[in-house]
Amino acid sequence: MPDATFTRPDLTTFTRLDGLGLEVTGQLLEPDRSVLACRVVEPDDWCRRCGRQGVPRDTVSRELAHEPFGWCPTTLVLTVRRYRCKECSHVWRQDTTAAAPPRAKISRAGLRWGLVGIVVGHLSMARVAEGLGVAWNTAHDAVLAEGRRLLIEDPTRLDGVKVVGVDEHVWRHTRRGDKYVTVIIDLTPVRDGTGPSRLLDVVEGRSKKAFKDWLAERDQA
């Protein structure tokens, strides 16, 4: 890479935490997992009730599973500041929704890693859960919800789609047999050489019937 520009090594950008509004302040490398201590970059010290500036009161911590690095689960321990308003006594904590949805156990980057792992990398949900260092159910519910969120929030996702690919995955091995999901992918960019394929939808069931039903639900255009 003769023309590449190298910048100063930096754990925050390497682990893509800058996009989540976080900054790494410390690391703990254990044999089976890495822990990154983080602080929330934006102060967020204006009272949500009366709009006056609050004073720092104390801190709380929030733990999130992040995407793995080097196949090693990475846990984030966020130090979140709490403020108190001197005017109205309201107490609140720094907004961390850029890092993860409220009450979530997995960071947004971790969710994306899991979703791409399932859809593009053909990883099993067990492998995704192992990579994130969380329970199977936690990974399953969160990654599926993220897939739905990404799709539902983009109503234009079917515009310009000409070539569709269908792929069936065993979503869950159960005692009474396997549960399948069918992943529907837009291959138009691949055919046109303009970019990678796009995830269009994730539906329950095996590919032939699931895809037939899915097509029937779309408008004919």
Q: Which amino acid is at 117?
A: G
Least distance in angstroms from the C-beta of 92 to Zn ion: 9
Round to the nearest angstrom and report the end-to-end CA distance of the chain. Answer: 45
What is the 3 state secondary structure string of 89-110? CCEEECCCCCCCCCCCCECHHH
Q: Which is nearer to Zn ion, 17 or 47 (CB)?
A: 47
Contact 105/113 with Cβ under 8 angstroms?
no
Under the binding rule (CB under 5 A), the answer on residue 28 touching Zn ion is no
Sign, CA torsion 53/58/59/60 = negative
Q: Which is nearer to Zn ion, 49 or 149 (CB)?
A: 49
Least distance in angstroms from the C-beta of 49 to Zn ion: 5
Under the binding rule (CB under 5 A), the answer on residue 60 touching Zn ion is no
Q: Which is nearer to Zn ion, 90 or 172 (CB)?
A: 90
Least distance in angstroms from the C-beta of 23 to Zn ion: 27
Binding residue for Zn ion, selected from 27, 49, 63, 137, defined by CB under 5 A: 49
**Quick one: which segment of 33-41, 82-90, 158-166, 194-202 binds Zn ion (CB under 5 A)?**
82-90
Hey, how many other C-beta atoms are within 10 angstroms of the C-beta on 24? 18
Under the binding rule (CB under 5 A), the answer on residue 90 touching Zn ion is yes
Q: Which residue has the tokens 């005692």?
A: 175
Contact 174/192 with Cβ under 8 angstroms?
no
Alpha helices in the chain (DSSP H): 11-14, 108-119, 125-132, 136-152, 188-192, 207-217
**Quick one: which segment of 25-33, 80-88, 115-123, 128-136 binds Zn ion (CB under 5 A)?**
80-88
Under the binding rule (CB under 5 A), the answer on residue 50 touching Zn ion is yes
Binding residue for Zn ion, selected from 28, 60, 88, 163, defined by CB under 5 A: 88
| Contact footprint for Zn ion (CB under 5 A) | 47, 49-50, 85, 87-88, 90
